[in-house]
Amino acid sequence: MTLATLALASAVKARALEFGFDRVAIGPAGPPEHGRAFERWLDAGYAGGMDYLARGRAERLDPLRLLPGARSVVAVALAYNVDDGDPSWRPVARYARGRDYHDVMRPRLERLAGFIDEAARPGVRSRVAVDTSAVLERDLAARAGLGWVGKNTNLLSLSLGSYFFIGIVLTTAELLADGPLPDRCGTCTACLDACPTGAFVAPYVLDARRCISYLTIEHRGDIPEPLQEGIGEWIFGCDICQEVCPWNRKPEPAREPAFAPEGPLPPLDELLQLDEVGFRARFRRSAIRRAKRAGLLRNVALVLAHRRAAGTRGGGR
């Protein structure tokens, strides 16, 4: 490792922070250590209907398939812990209450990749990923030292908790690696115990087919009846396993204003009246588009049905 290589790593980290990222770490670009576990997870059917995960299996198991010659991974974190104090957004997972994170992060990652290509020796190439490329971002970020993988399968940071997005830059440049952090979950099982649908098969193993986030976002068609009650009040995503995590008791607040909600969420009965044009107009800048209109209205109808049933039993508001 030369002085020039050390200087380049320092410059890359400084530039990442200048671009607005909250944390940055560097690791190697080889195959992720948990590749075998990922394959077992896929083979067990825990991915549900997310067939794209299996289609990109080979690339996820070896980043060099995406970027031949890759030597380093620059992993960045962007916090989304915005305390807006608006209860209307409670049925939506915290990460989706503001701007779509892809739109916020990708331009900055592209700028960072461009900086690396210019600052490194001639011929260096870089490629970015924001959970839309066939990359195991969480594993690569954990190996770099951005955080450690918690029992709820989220990446955890000492100061940010788990309320942050992960961005990756694969590069053929040689950069000084930081090294992974130790697992600090200890004997705590709060996240596993709190899941209302029993989605955790074991610590660090999530059956997406039972996960509220998967059911309300990725799943198409009716939600299986045995899992409907566990959906509770969620119409998009779920934060329960994060809310109970001790590392999320006092996470640093997000500095990015784009993740704050743009006004209150309309009442659920109004959302139920949205046509396709109205849905696209209302959520054109939001990650909620991922559920599609049919999925969102399905979720809203289920929550309203729960409320009516609770009112009939004398427990409604």
Q: Which helix (H) or strand (E) holds 167?
A: strand 164-171
C-beta atoms surrounding 86 within 10 Å: 13
Q: Which of 62, 84, 117, 131 is catalytic?
A: 131
Alpha helices (runs of H) in the chain, residue ranges in sequence order = 3-18, 35-43, 51-55, 57-61, 101-119, 137-144, 190-194, 212-213, 225-231, 240-243, 268-271, 276-282, 292-312
Is 84 noted as a catalytic residue in this protein? Answer: no
Query: What DSSP character marks residue 162?
Result: T
Question: Cα separation of 237 and 144, whole Å?
Answer: 27
First to last CA, the chain: 64
CA–CA distances in Å: residue 312 to residues 223, 309, 315, 317: 23, 5, 7, 11
φ/ψ (deg, to 5) at 134 = -80, 75
Give the whole-angstrom CA distance, residue 131 versus residue 155. Answer: 14
Active site positions, annotated = 131
